[in-house]
A and B are shown apart, each in its own frame.
Chain A
């Protein structure tokens, strides 16, 4: 039953990805000033939105771990698995944002990178979460999960700064697509339509790999617990 549900969800996700791609490339009209290169927007912005969501899930997982670590080991481990899964999949999406952004910028602005507030805070966010993953991968000892959870909470503080950066400071990066000035953002309904489908598609895809990452981490935790038990029994 579980396998069938996952297969149906995966099939819907693939269909959404194909539909989103079709909308972005063939249906959405060319933007007036940037022309075709503006179509990078349909992958760049949804990836950023999904990355923010997953960093929020990771934050919730870390808070859960700190809250349950003395009272319930199972709940603490589940929370920790969500924290790790959210951070890792969030980094994947953030990497996409940091690569597609400069590709777009090279054509739109004539430069690959600018030390603009939005770009710089996004790079810092990526570095913080990469350091979180490196800590999880290479550090050992009973305090690693606690230290990682604290780092995650501090790292998550950068998410609202990234979000607000192009509202607080004027820079190279365009003004907000949503919730900005009346003049900013996309106005064409066909563009909004294509954008909405791509947000939905990337969210479905992201949730699929987030759940897979969570399952892998829970499996890893169970193997580690079993090995520890075997060592004690030996």
Chain B
């Protein structure tokens, strides 16, 4: 593999990895927020009387 081909490969890997980090990071944030809201709603339902 020549130098240009190696560099091309590294750039493709970087683009694909960054894409998945953004997408999965966002999905994880959404999941955490959903769980936190669900717990908060459950606490409100069984709150102090």
Contacts and interface: CB of A to CB of B under 8 A. Distances in A.
Interface of A: 21, 34-37, 39-40, 43-44, 47, 89, 92, 95-96, 99-100, 103-104, 106-107, 205, 209, 212-213, 215-216, 219-220, 222-223, 226-227, 230
A100 B30 contact: no
Instruction: State the main secondary structure of chain A at its contact with B.
Output: helix
Nearest to B27: A209
A104 B15 contact: yes
> Chain B interface residue count: which class?
20 to 34
28 contacts: A35-B8, A40-B12, A43-B16, A89-B26, A92-B23, A92-B26, A95-B22, A96-B18, A99-B15, A99-B19, A100-B18, A100-B19, A103-B11, A103-B14, A103-B15, A104-B11, A104-B15, A107-B11, A205-B23, A209-B27, A212-B30, A212-B31, A216-B34, A219-B38, A220-B37, A223-B40, A223-B41, A227-B44
Nearest to A88: B26
A229 to B, nearest CB: 11
Interface of B: 4-5, 7-9, 11-12, 14-16, 18-19, 22-23, 26-27, 30-31, 33-34, 37-38, 40-41, 44
B12 A37 contact: yes
A226 B30 CA distance: 22
Nearest 10 A/B pairs, CB to CB: A36-B8, A37-B8, A40-B15, A100-B15, A103-B15, A219-B37, A92-B26, A216-B34, A107-B11, A43-B19
Contact of B11 (A40, A47, A212, A222): A40
A205 B24 CA distance: 11
B5 A92 contact: no
Contact of B37 (A103, A205, A212, A216): A216
Contacts of A47: 19
B12 A209 contact: no
B19 to A, nearest CB: 5
